[in-house]
Amino acid sequence: MRGDQVTDKNLCMALINQMKWDAACLTQRIVECDDEHLRQDYINVLNRTFAEQKQAYNYANQQGWHQPMLAEQSMINQVQSDTQKMANEIQQSMMTMHRQAQSQAIQTPQQQMMNMGQGMGMGTFQSYNMPAMGNQQNYGGIPQQYYR
Amino acid sequence: MPHAKGRATARELLDLQSHLMLESNLAGQFNHFARECTDPQLRQMCESFARSRMDAFQRLAQHTNMGTIQ
């Protein structure tokens, strides 16, 4: 039997692939669209496309034509480990940002004015990036009314 | 359907033209699939999808009644 023979299976897989391509094209149209009415119509067509693609997929799955390969345990472990690393990195960077915001919030208005003045010259980067080091003596002394 | 701002962007118009062509091709293809397949369930599905693509075409084609391009 030749691979390119017209069978129900081939037709169904072509149907699914065409739906996937249509969904990708519609997504591109939506993100590039300025007009609200046109955008909404694209979205409606895309939602219908998703539903139809799923219907075709379910049919192929029932026929045993499309059975996705299950992930091996080692692969699952690897992804879990990588995800944990990413989560830790995000948490670390959030903590750094939080500390910076906190130390900026406890500055007195006078210090803030001074920092703004420094901002006019070469000191901008340093005064913004290292507030925790330069203002630690004020930690806890001033109410955090400037913190947002 | 009139364009909300009275004028379409050049990008919108080119994309719309391109997408109408795609929907039209899909409608034709799915009709062809319906004629070629043997399983009645699949045939029905192909026919339904072809109608749906045609509806999408007609719906989107209404937006070609908009103003001149920018």
Report chain B residues whose CB lies below 8 A from the CB of A8: 37-39, 42
Q: A52 and B63: CB-CB below 8 Å?
A: no
Query: Measured at the alpha carbon of residue B42, what is the angle toward residues B41 and B46, in degrees to the nearest 5?
Result: 120
Interchain CB contact of B61 with A (< 8 Å): no
In this predicted structure, what is the pLDDT of residue B5?
Answer: 61
In this predicted structure, what is the pLDDT of residue A143?
Answer: 47
Cα–Cα dist B49/B53, whole Å: 6
- Residues 18 to 37 of A: which have CB under 8 A from any B CB? 18-19, 22, 25-26, 28-29, 32-37
Digit-coded pLDDT (tens) for A47-68: 999 999 999 999 999 999 988 8
pTM of the model: 0.71
Å from B63 to nearest chain A CA?
7
Q: Let me know: does B24 contact B57? Beta carbons within 8 Å.
A: yes
Average pLDDT value for chain A: 82
Cα–Cα dist A112/A123, whole Å: 13
Interchain CB contact of B47 with A (< 8 Å): no
Q: What is the ipTM of this complex?
A: 0.88
Interchain CB contact of A46 with B (< 8 Å): no
Cα–Cα dist A27/A81, whole Å: 32
Digit-coded pLDDT (tens) for B53-64: 999 999 999 998
Q: Please state, for a pLDDT cut of 70, what percent of chain A lies above it.
A: 70
Which segment of A53-67, B3-17, B23-37 scores lowest on mean pLDDT? B3-17
Q: B12 and A36: CB-CB below 8 Å?
A: no
Chain A contact probe: residue of B9, B13, B17, B19 with most A CBs at under 10 A: B19
Q: Let me know: does B1 contact A37? Beta carbons within 8 Å.
A: yes
Does residue A148 or residue A60 have the better pLDDT?
A: A60
Does residue A113 or residue A61 have the better pLDDT?
A: A61
Does residue A99 or residue B5 have the better pLDDT?
A: A99
Phi, psi of A134 (to 5 degrees): -80, -20
Cα–Cα dist A131/A142, whole Å: 15
Cα–Cα dist A56/B45, whole Å: 8
Q: B42 and A33: CB-CB below 8 Å?
A: no
Average pLDDT over residues B30-37: 97
**B4 pLDDT tier (thresholds 50, 70, 90):** low
Digit-coded pLDDT (tens) for A9-44: 999 999 999 999 999 999 999 999 999 999 999 999
